[in-house]
Amino acid sequence: MKGICLFFEVHQPLRLKRYRFFDIGSDHYYYDDYNNETILREVAQECYLPANKLMLKLIKKLGPEFRISYSLTGVLMDQLETYAPEVLDSFRELAATGQVEFLAETYSHSLASMANKEEFIKQVRMHGDKIKKHFGAEPVSFRNTEMVYSDETGSWVADMGFKAMLTEGAKHILGWRSPDLLYCNSINPRLKVLLRNFQLSDDIAFRFSNRDWNEWPLTADKFAGWINKRDDDAELINIFMDYETFGEHQKAETGIFEFMEELPAAIMTSTDYTFMTPSQIAEEFQPVSALKVPDPVSWADEERDLTAWLGNDLQNAAFNKLYSLADRVSNCNDEDILNDWIYLQVSDHLYYMCTKFFSDGAVHQYFNPYESPYDAFMNYMNVLSDFEIRLDAACPGDDVNQEIVSLRKKLEEKEEEINERVIEIRRLRSKVKSLTISSTASGEEKKEKRKTAGAAVKQKKQGTGGKKPVPKDVKPAGKGKTSKTKQTKRSK
């Protein structure tokens, strides 16, 4: 038995508005509603709606033999709820056929897996809840943001109970091995790892409409032929791509929808591959070996690493700043802050700061609303500054604030101590007074006492010295008092 897995990533970033530094502290709304709505509506019209319609048609036509899988990010679902609920309806229709699997991922399409395990787990759960709410079933397969994968991330995912995880069939992790087989996580072998066949995937996603490509035009039959030509021991072809390939990256005029319409039938008739979803594959196939991936991989650029998001000092500074707030946010209950926290983690914010675009031009600029990476960084950091101010106000917690809190505490303690001492002084003074009155009743001395309290106290001390020792620490207070009285007298 051989399986082919069609998986689509469905994501739209929540773009930030132009946020100037004078907005910091006064404007707490960060999003470019106009652009987000416009772009989402456009993509819905050009891609999501027609593509979903096509998939539904194929499912109905081909029956249970045709299966596909999706990952919808939480940020996308939030936007769909607001701007294009009909798209969610059409996904629900697909879900209802039972032939579509929805995968889990981080709610905000974030790189939390690279920074903070707790945050990562929290986001995956949050996303799972959302998927369940919309499509009725808890996801059992996982794919991380931009196919980011490492042994460690995989083990976390396994610990959370997922059976399968998707990632890139990057050459440098595979070496001589084939992506067309099932692998498993090297720490926790219970997690099956599906590897993207980037050759075949990109033939559709990137090269489909490229007229300079010697295989242009690509037809469904030709593609099915390539699948047949894979190695004899190939068991599994994983075609993973952006859903926006249909109608957005490859416009409808290129014939991408027609290609997709023909493709399943072509594969079914001329190859022995069966359409399967990741969870089915995890059930049906045995992993051939564990895959060692100590350093994270992704499906981006030539390098297949994280340098598109964390490749320069700007990106690292922004990323570190963001996740330095994680602990405090987790202690915070303010709903708005928690909401913004999710949206500020969207990995696209970092992607816009990528300076690689000078060499890896086309793709990066295509998706970038900013004029330069510097521009993206400035805007993001301004937003983050405001966010931190709000966080400070809602849940103080960083070093400075902790310092302030601890100093305030110290101050209160001191105040209390002073109060205690003052009471003690009063008590002692009244005692001294009563003693003086009882022991010495000379009128001269009384006069003198009225004149200079200090001298009186001194004399009193001398007088009482033998009888009762005055506590040491009261002395300075007494002296202070004395000099003060003197001063006020002099000023008079």
Partner 1 sequence: MKVLMFGWEFPPHISGGLGTASYGLTRGMASIPDIDVLFVVPKAYGDEVKEGLDLIGANNVKVAYKQIHYRGESRSFDKIEVDSQIVPYTDPEDFWKITRQEEKDNRLIVETNDRGMLDFTGSYGSGLISEIDKYSIVASVIAAENDFDLIHAHDWLAYPAGLAAKEVSGKPLVIHVHATDFDRSGGNVNPVVYNIEKQGMEAADRIITVSNLTRQTVINKYHIDPSKVTTVYNAVEPQGGIYDEYEKRSINDKVVTFLGRITLQKGPEYFIEAAYRVLQVMDNVRFVMAGSGDMMEKMIRRAAELNITDRFHFTGFLRGSDVYWMLRLSDVYIMPSVSEPFGISPLEAMQSNVPVIISKQSGVAEILTHAVKIDFWDIDAMADAIHAILSYPALSEMFIKNGREEVENLKWENSARKVREVYLEAVN
Distance of CA 206 to the CA centre of its chain: 28
Site residues (CB under 8 A) for partner 1, limited to 285-324: 312-314, 316-318
CA distance 306 to 303: 8
Does position 347 interact with partner 1 (CB under 8 A)? The reply is: no
Q: Which among 9, 101, 146, 244 is annotated as catalytic?
A: 146
Going by the DSSP 8-state scheme, the letter that residue 156 receives in this structure is H
| C-alpha to C-alpha distances, 276 to 39, 58, 100, 283, nearest whole angstrom | 32, 14, 9, 11
**Closest CB to partner 1 among residues 19, 243:** 19
Number of residues interacting with partner 1: please give it, by CB under 8 A: 21
Quick one: 320 or 331, whose CB is closer to partner 1? 320
93 is catalytic: no
Please identify which residue in 46, 303, 375, 398 interacts with partner 1, judged by CB under 8 A: 375
Stretch in the footprint of partner 1 (CB under 8 A) among 191-199, 331-339, 343-351, 369-377: 369-377
CB of 480 to partner 1, least distance (A): 38
371 counts as binding partner 1 under rule CB under 8 A: yes
Amino acid at 432: V
Distance separating alpha carbons of residues 129 and 135, to the nearest angstrom: 10
Q: Which one of residues 24, 103, 218, 239 is an interface residue with partner 1 (CB under 8 A)?
A: 24
Q: Confirm or reject binding of residue 358 to partner 1 (CB under 8 A).
A: yes
**Cα Rg of the chain, angstroms:** 35
Q: How far is the CB of 340 from partner 1 (least distance, A)?
A: 19
Residue 339 CB, nearest approach to partner 1 (Å): 24
Out of 136, 374, 405, 414, point to the residue binding partner 1 (CB under 8 A): 374
Long-range contacts of 300-305 (CB under 8 A, 24+ apart): 300/146, 301/356, 301/360, 301/363, 302/360, 304/168, 304/170, 304/171, 304/172
Query: Among residues 22 and 366, whose Cβ is nearest to partner 1?
Result: 22
Region of 113 (left: φ > 0; alpha: ψ -120 to 50; beta: rest) is alpha
Helix axes 256-270, 220-228, angle to 10 degrees: 40
Which residues are CB-neighbours of 285 under 8 A, at least 6 positions away? 3, 182, 192, 235, 236
Task: Give the nearer residue to partner 1 in terms of CB position, either 66 or 380.
Answer: 380
Give the residue, chosen from 1, 20, 57, 82, that forms a contact with partner 1 under the rule CB under 8 A: 20
Distance between CA 101 and CA 2 in Å, rounded? 19
Indicate the residue among 68 and 383 with the shorter CB distance to partner 1.
383
Residues recognised as catalytic: 146
- Footprint on this chain of partner 1 (rule: CB under 8 A): 20-22, 24, 312-314, 316-318, 355, 358, 371-372, 374-375, 377-378, 381-382, 385
